[in-house]
Chains A and B, each alone.
Chain A
Amino acid sequence: MRLEPARRWESLILVLLVGVCVWASLGVDGFANASNVSFLLLDTTEIALMALTMTLIVVAAEIDLSVASTLGLSCAVLGRLWNAGLPIELIMPICLLVGAACGAVNGFLVTRLGLPSLAVTIGTLALFRGLAYVILGDQAVADLPPAYTGLATASIGPLPLTTVLVAVLAAVAAVVLHATGVGRAIFALGSNEEAAFFAGVRVKRIKFWLFVACGVMAALASLVYTFRYASARADNGTGLELAVVAAVLLGGVSIFGGRGTLAGVLMAVLLLGVVRNALILADVANEVLNFVTGLLLVASVLAPNLGAVRRRRTPSPVEGNSAP
């Protein structure tokens, strides 16, 4: 039986992941033990959370580059309201609403005004981050309740609580994407929006809610981030959107939409985390680290499309013969 391209790519990522883990366990001191595994998983939490909804968006042939700025804005709101004396239990749902609002702005501009999501979310990337600075300025709010900051770094054995959160949400996202009508609709509109539209898929509505979900997830990631570092600042998570998009692409989701699985993306998040962790432990310089991550990314975008590129380069015999 021939595996579909997406499946083959995931197997490759899995092999790479296992390979790197085996290499690091044998060759890198301090890699294979419970506390390091727990650090590693903690470090990938926010990226994993945002990668879940980013996967859905990219499968739908859109992109949201504003997630890290939404995270920053939500952190800023949290800090400002906490300073104002509101209870944290009230602030948290407000932050999620802020995330939803950010997503709704993106969704509105993309679906109702028909603007390309790449342009829209580059704009809101700057807009939301700017707003975060307006709200919290240069302050760092650090006197957060220990009960919550403790929760964000707590773990059951080597398994951080935040990883349990990621696992639960990943299961939900996987079911939605791979086992429901909505999921099939997302794949359909990602492959061919027009065909999906004529087949009765409510294209705009689905896309709108995907952006909202992305915003809410970024806000959720902001709560984890703030409590994990016990520091709410306007510049929290700057640049994280690249790590998220990187993981999604490395996970085998096609940047052109219509193809990809959540399992692949989660493995890619882990792969990037493990590579980073192992190289830092092995005292590899930061520049080399960025170089390796970049190389993995270029390979991930290149490899699945290599076949397609070759097909485009060499004209098919039929076309060749039809020439006069």
Chain B
Amino acid sequence: MNMRTSWRPTALLAGLVLLTAACGGGTTRSDVAAQQSAAPSAAASSAAADPNAPLKQGLKIAFLPKQVNNPYFTVADQGGIAATKEFGGEGKEVGPSDASASSQVSYINTLTQQKQDAIVISANDPNAVVPALKQARDAGIKVVSYDSDTAPDGRDVFVNQAGAEDLGRTQVQLLAEQIGHKGKIAVLSATPNATNQNTWIDFMKDELSKPEYKDMELVKVAYGNDDDQKSFTETQGLLRSYPDLAGIISPTTVGIAAAARYLSDSPAKGKVKLTGLGTPNQLRKFVKDGTIEAFELWSPADLGYLAAYSAAALASGQITGAEGETFKAGKLGDYTIGAKGEVLLGKPTVFNADNIDDFDF
């Protein structure tokens, strides 16, 4: 039997491992943490902001969404491109067709090569994109994150669609009203690492811990990976595992549409309540046929618009990304940069059968 001899190299490798271990003195997690806290914090941008500087003409601004052909990002990026036309710039949308962690990196590198003036990005993975974004910033490119933030050292400004706290809590409130503050509920999220979804879910859990929700129980957080098919089957799975489910919150446009499609054709239609974040055009027919009572969202077109103006203000030297700086964002008016370089778009809008026809996006 040759198996015995075959294992010799494996034993050798195992020996090497032990040897390395015995040598000790390796790099551990706490070493890295210690180094990072010892290192001086990154100096703020040395260039001074000139609030009166005019917006430069012919700025090249690229929008890099989590994935292209996602209706939400299409609308947001169209809003952004419309803004670049207003101030005489040149906008375009590029990006991967899958919302995976690292596929954005080659796009960032490409945009760096193309010497864009600014990159507006919604990060699939807040950390994986940072090394590439740092290189872009070293090359003089301004970086604005929108929708989903990167780690702070990857960007100059983050345009936040709505306070995470507002969004997380209001979605629970919306659903609680619909199910009479009682029953099992589930969340159908995007990818397990999606920055904003996870923050919202934390606030949902916090909201649920209040006494008025004592009869509501969050039984599962499912992940549809922002993939229509996966979200559809996850919804199916939720209903099968929890036949007495009272409601689902899906804080992602892909998820809520897939869940609505499943529910509208199932006996659970109208009984299992669905709410979350979606676009009116995508969910109009489900609101009309009674699958969904109410859902909410900010205006993605305004988000893209504000991100474009932030990028232009950065590239023109009006702002540097420091707290307290102000700039004008066309028709949306004046904005002030908050803590950690965040710009807040505003409160979300609730859509229901009464008002949904007033919106077209």
Residues of chain A touching chain B, judged by Cβ–Cβ distance below 8 Å, are 29-31, 33, 35-36, 39, 43, 82-83, 85-90, 93-94, 96-97, 100, 137-140, 142-149, 153, 202, 205, 208-209, 225, 228-231, 233, 235-236, 238-239, 276-277, 280-281, 283, 285-287, 290
> When the two chains form their complex, are residues A235 and B100 in contact, meaning their CB atoms are under 8 A apart?
yes
B26 contacts A230, C-beta separation under 8 Å: no
Given contacts A35-B113, A142-B127, contact A205 B13 (CB under 8 A): no
Contact indicator A286/B32 (Cβ below 8 Å): no
* Contacting pair A231 B113 (CB below 8 A): no
- Would you call B282 an interface residue if the criterion is a C-beta within 8 Å of the partner chain's C-beta atoms? no
B10 within 8 A of A: yes
Chain B residues numbered 110-135 whose CB sits less than 8 Å from any CB in chain A:
110, 112-115, 125-128, 130-131
A–B pairs, 17, beta carbons within 8 Å: A31-B113, A36-B113, A83-B29, A86-B26, A86-B28, A140-B126, A142-B151, A148-B27, A153-B131, A209-B6, A229-B131, A231-B125, A235-B101, A239-B98, A281-B114, A283-B94, A290-B97
Q: Is B21 an interface residue (CB 8 A)?
A: yes
Q: Is residue B173 contacting chain A, with contact meaning CB distance below 8 A?
A: no
A contact face: mostly helix, strand, loop, or mixed:
helix
Given known contacts A30-B114, A39-B109, A202 and B2 CB-to-CB distance under 8 angstroms = yes
How far is A35 from B112 in the complex, measured between Cα atoms in Å? 10
**Among all A-B residue pairs, the 8 with the closest Cβ atoms:** A87-B26, A138-B192, A142-B127, A30-B113, A89-B26, A229-B128, A231-B128, A39-B109
Find chain A residues with CB under 8 A from B2 CB.
202, 205
Whether B95 sits at the interface, judged by CB under 8 Å, is yes
Partner of B193, one of A43, A97, A140: A140
A89 to B29, CA, bound (A): 12
Q: Is the CB of B125 within 8 A of A233?
A: yes
- Distance A97 CA – B2 CA, assembled complex (angstroms): 21
Contact call B27/A87, Cβ cutoff below 8 A: yes
Q: A39-B109, A90-B21 are in contact. Are A230 and B130 (CB under 8 A)?
A: yes
Q: B31 at interface (Cβ–Cβ under 8 A)?
A: yes
Output the least CB separation between A154 and chain B (Å).
Answer: 11
A-contacting residues of B (Cβ < 8 Å)? 2, 6, 10, 13-14, 16-17, 20-21, 24-33, 35-36, 68-69, 92, 94-98, 100-102, 105-107, 109-110, 112-115, 125-128, 130-131, 151, 191-193, 223
Q: Which of A86, A90, A97 counts the most chain B CB atoms within 10 A?
A: A90
| Residues of chain B within 8 A of A142, CB atoms compared | 126-128, 151
A67 to B353 Cα, complex, angstroms: 50
Within 8 Å CB of B115, what residues of A? 30
The docked-state distance in angstroms from the alpha carbon of A83 to that of B32 is 12
Q: Is the beta-carbon distance between A146 and B32 smaller than 8 angstroms?
A: yes
Residue of B nearest to A31 (CB): B113
- Minimum CB–CB distance from B57 to chain A (whole Å) comes to 21
Set B13, B21, B102: member contacting A97, Cβ < 8 A: B13
Residues of B within 8 Å of A209, CB to CB, are: 6
Q: Which residue of B lies closest to A281 (CB)?
A: B110
Is B94 a contact partner of A90 (Cβ separation < 8 A)?
Answer: no
